[in-house]
Structure 1
Amino acid sequence: MTGVRPVLVITHAPHEGPGLIAPGLDAPLRVRTVLDLEDARLPRLDEVSGVVVMGGPMDADDVSGHPGLAAERALLAAAVDADVPVLGVCLGMQLLALALGSHLHRRAATEIGFAPIDVLAEDEVLGALGTRPTVLHWHSDAVDLPPGATLLASTEATPVQAFRAGSALGLQFHPELDAGMLDLWLSTPDMVGELSAEDVDEIRSDGARHLPALLPSAEKMFAAFGELVRARG
């Protein structure tokens, strides 16, 4: 991988790392957390081969509380304009949508746990998951489809579960988790503080049932994103 530009991974919480995304990239990672920095500085787009923005518990439009979000949104908008491969997951998808002119709806629909999504359109990356995969949801905010974007997946509660906007793919759900990362989430107070013990047990049980079938498809999906990253170099 000598000479390969790194992939920028922006994180917002220590337990919400790239997970399965990282091995699919086959490239060095440059992980940054600028959430609460007034003077947030991120790498230039000519220094990276792709941008991945992970999840977090904050509202995507809370720039006053988390000023670094403004820099993230500016970078995402510039990345789409420059045709840089982008992957946004959960909060990352919401930031991507806002960067592209969409609107956030706070507490619009809480979805926590494993449930299917309906895949509505073909996509070279998302298509690896199939037409109705059961995935992990963990959100309460939602976004409108950005102008000009293609809606890729939906649920009744959250109409925009995935979208494609040029070089960028946004995912409201969490295909990046394996069993170990799910266990970490279920033992992290910030993640489960508002869940009952029964809720946690159900998510753990559903994970044991659904992850074995989901993981190979998720790995294939992230490898497809990795091919786009490698093509940029």
Structure 2
Amino acid sequence: MKSALIVRHVPYEGCAGYRAPVEAAGYAIDRIDVTDPAFATADLTAPDLLIVMGGPMGVYDVDEHPWIPGEIASLSRRLVADRPTLGICLGAQMMAAALGSAVYKGSGCEIGFAPVDLTPDLTSPLRHLAGVPVLHWHGDTFDLPDGTELLATTPRYRQGFRRGRNLLALQFHAEMGEDARFEAWLDYLDCPKHRGSLTEEYRTLGPAAVRAGQAMIGEWLAGLEG
């Protein structure tokens, strides 16, 4: 089987709904946590597919998280080799940094379900998300890397880009909508009222977001080169 490696920055952010299309595409999934001592020497170029997940830290938080520069350097080598890579939220920001772009705090947080505005490209796998509210949970943003194509935005932030067929970076979380680990995400909220509304959104809007996200990832995987 083909190999897929998930890089986890925190235990409660795994590939969630994306696991089904990845396995359906014939990948055996493994994972590594950035806190694992083996991560410092892990070869991120080796797996057939790399999935870099999210986390509450920022790309610039290198004093608190000294593994960040090493991850960016290893990720850069993979991207230079054009190896199939998917980045989610922090993972997308890591990809932007690895491609030489600035990553920085935005003008505020986007938290909750909302659709993304898609660029008019009928070849983009993000077309499956048209009109579908997906989960947003971010406050950082990035400059669009040279040589990449912007795929989606919200009024506040860039939401996705790709380079060719093999590199896909997504700021939003279309993998989240049915995963019980969402309860751990809610622990970071200060407002109980906001927690209640997010729980209801997750219950009512999450399943449709996951189905759309799975269709998106399935199409992207089918079009990989090499």
Question: Could you tell me the TM-score, scaled by structure 1's length?
Answer: 0.86
What displacement does 1:174 show?
0.3
Aligned pair partner of 1:192 in 184, 187, 201:
187
**In 2, distance between residues paired with 1:13 and 1:97?**
20
Secondary structure of 2:197's match?
A: helix
Q: Which amino acid aligns with 1:172?
A: Q
Do structure 1's residue 41 and structure 2's residue 37 form an aligned pair?
no
**CA distance 1:228–1:80, change in 2 (3 Å):** farther
What displacement does 1:204 show?
1.4
Fraction of identical pairs, as percent: 32
- Structure (1/2) with the larger strand percentage: 2
Do structure 1's residue 20 and structure 2's residue 21 form an aligned pair?
no
**In 2, distance between residues paired with 1:113 and 1:84?**
32
Q: Quote the RMSD (CA, aligned, Å).
A: 2.2
- C-alpha offsets along residues 110-138 of structure 1, whole Å, 9 cap, x if unaligned? 001111210114244322222x3311001
What residue ranges of structure 2 are gaps of 5+ in the alignment?
Answer: none
What displacement does 1:38 show?
9.9
Q: Assess if the C-alpha contact under 8 Å between 1:90 and 1:174 holds in 2.
A: yes
In structure 2, the partner of 1:155 is 154
Structure 1: 4+ residue segments shifted above 4 A:
35-39
**In 1, distance between residues paired with 2:140 and 2:96?**
12
Secondary structure of 2:214's match?
A: helix
**CA distance 1:14–1:39, change in 2 (3 Å):** closer
| Aligned pairs, number | 221
Q: Assess if the C-alpha contact under 8 Å between 1:35 and 1:66 holds in 2.
A: no
Q: Assess if the C-alpha contact under 8 Å between 2:11 and 2:33 holds in 1.
A: no
**In 1, distance between residues paired with 2:190 and 2:43?**
37
In structure 2, the partner of 1:144 is 143
Q: Assess if the C-alpha contact under 8 Å between 1:25 and 1:227 holds in 2.
A: no
**In 1, distance between residues paired with 2:88 and 2:39?**
24
In structure 2, the partner of 1:172 is 171
Question: Could you tell me the TM-score, scaled by structure 2's length?
Answer: 0.88
- C-alpha offsets along residues 18-76 of structure 1, whole Å, 9 cap, x if unaligned? 1011121121112111258597122352x311110000011112223222222221232
In structure 1, the partner of 2:202 is 207
**In 1, distance between residues paired with 2:104 and 2:44?**
30
